[in-house]
Structure 1
Amino acid sequence: MTRSTTLSCACGQFHLEVSGGPFITAECHCSSCRAAAQRLAALPLSRPMTASNGGVPYVLYRKDRVSFPDGTAGLAEFRLSEGAPTRRVVTSCCQTPVFTEFSGGHWLSLFAAMWPDETRPPMQIRTQTGDVPAGTTLDDSLPSGAMSTAGFYAKLLVAWIAMGFKVPKIEITQKVGA
């Protein structure tokens, strides 16, 4: 039997459910994730989006393993620009960061802060460390670099194959400005 986990926003009005385990966890250091986190920090976010080193910790799930029992009406999207292919999604009730979604992506990068500290999956790799700002030092606690990135993309491909190359859509009508 597949284990499922229910996660909620900080105020408890919104829930999502994940089935099974993530296919990977990653701390992203790309300039897009860092810029979005910085701009969204202007909102009264109920949970942090970033790690102490400025990276954004994600728990990645196939879209077909994430459900929204309360629907998506309580979600709002943020894009760095009007035509940006990537959107970050927060709850409209308490501005809990929920996920990042890439246009045409078959997975969701759920913000690790959705999990309580005691059950949060540990990070496995760091990605996009070439975008780390000058003067930022990353410790050696997580693998990073070309081989880690290649493995990351391989896991994305395997997940997509397992989904039969489907790309489920998630309709979100609200927008948030930051």
Structure 2
Amino acid sequence: MARKVGVYTRISRDEEGEALGVARQQQDCERLADLRSWQVVKTYEDNDVSAFKRNVVRDEFELMLTDLRAGLIDGIVAYDLDRLARQPRDLERLIDLFRRWQRDGIWGKLVTQLQAQADAKGLITWDVNVDSTICRAHQHAAGASKKGICKRSRPAVSPSSQPTTASDAPGAG
């Protein structure tokens, strides 16, 4: 199951009204979605709309959030973060929505699905690396040395490991 994403594009000023900037953003976002095997469901375009001015309502941004909440899309692709949110309150709204998804376990499900898809395509190599230090620590913690399973190996005492303080020296009283 491909991830369903919405592409969000925005340019603050397009005096000619040709929408060339948002068209370039859309192409780049669609290329990224294609590389990630995401399905672009809809493009939300706020051309000639400022995101910096607090009193401006970005109609397509609001529609995108509505579609995200409704489950019509489950991700957003934007050319850059400053195209998506210029006001902290807009970014906070997105973060709150994604945190709710995290609490509901949606992220875990998405990761599991994406891993299964990538594994089926042979895109994941599952390497196992066992650290022997950790194994020894676990064996000792489990009492393996008391049962004779592990042999203690203490380093030989070298002259450099002899006591160096006067109180530790032989004959110190």
* TM-score range for the pair, normalised by the shorter chain length: under 0.3
Report the structure number with the largest CA radius of gyration.
2
Q: Given the two structures, how large is their TM-score scaled by the length of structure 2?
A: 0.25
Q: Given the two structures, how large is their TM-score scaled by the length of structure 1?
A: 0.25
More strand per residue: 1
More helix per residue: 2
